Amino acid sequence: MYEFLLFIHVLMAIVWVGGAVTMQVMAIMIQKANEPTRMAQFAHQAEVIGMRLFAPASLLILIVGIFMVLDAWSFGELWILMGLGGFAYSFINGAFFIGPLSGKTGKMIEERGAEDSEVQSNLAKLFLMSRIELVVLVVVVFAMTVKPTL
């Protein structure tokens, strides 16, 4: 059973982290093209993908990971604590920063247009926070694979 849980855990990590890397590459390309309307469209698509793909994948990672720890590990392991910390950071970042700012920015785009300076400032903040989160996720992947101890 552990091996099946590990497969699901790794598969969902590939979806989440691999998808986040792809989204960042796309965001960088769009930012370099300096096309505000395209950037706004991408931000909307990223929000949808985040809610419909990344959020369920991350939740499944957490649930399956907890079962794996209960089966074979201990919650006192540094690498497990780093994984839980990374999940907590991602959850807090999404729920209290990225989510609300995305919603606010989406409404601003409808009212003011994608070229508005405050809209573009918000999009830049969203992309920056997403990049920071990606770094945290990569650190978690490192911890899960290298398994540093206390």
In whole angstroms, give the CA distance from residue 110 to residue 102. Answer: 12
Separation between Cα atoms, residue 106 and residue 7, nearest integer Å = 36
List pLDDT tens digits, range 8-43.
999 999 999 999 999 999 999 998 998 888 888 888
C-alpha span between 68 and 28 (Å, rounded): 36
The number of folded domains in the chain is 1
Q: At what angle do helices 117-146 and 99-112 cross, to 10 degrees?
A: 150
Q: Which range marks the domain in which residue 44 is found?
A: 2-146
**Would you say the C-alpha torsion 115, 121, 126, 130 has a positive or negative sign?**
positive
Distance CA 150, CA 147 (A): 10
Q: Half-sphere exposure (CA, 13 Å, Cβ side) for 89?
A: 18
Q: What pLDDT is attached to residue 56?
A: 95
Residue 150 pLDDT exceeds 80: no
pLDDT (0 to 100) of residue 43: 87
Sign of CA dihedral 18, 24, 25, 27: positive
Contact, 16 vs 54, CB < 8 A? Answer: yes
**Helix H segments across 2-116?**
2-13, 19-33, 36-49, 55-72, 78-93, 99-112
- pLDDT, one tens digit per residue, over 99-123 is 889 889 988 998 999 899 999 999 9
Q: What is the dihedral of CA 50, 24, 18, 148, to 10 degrees?
A: -100
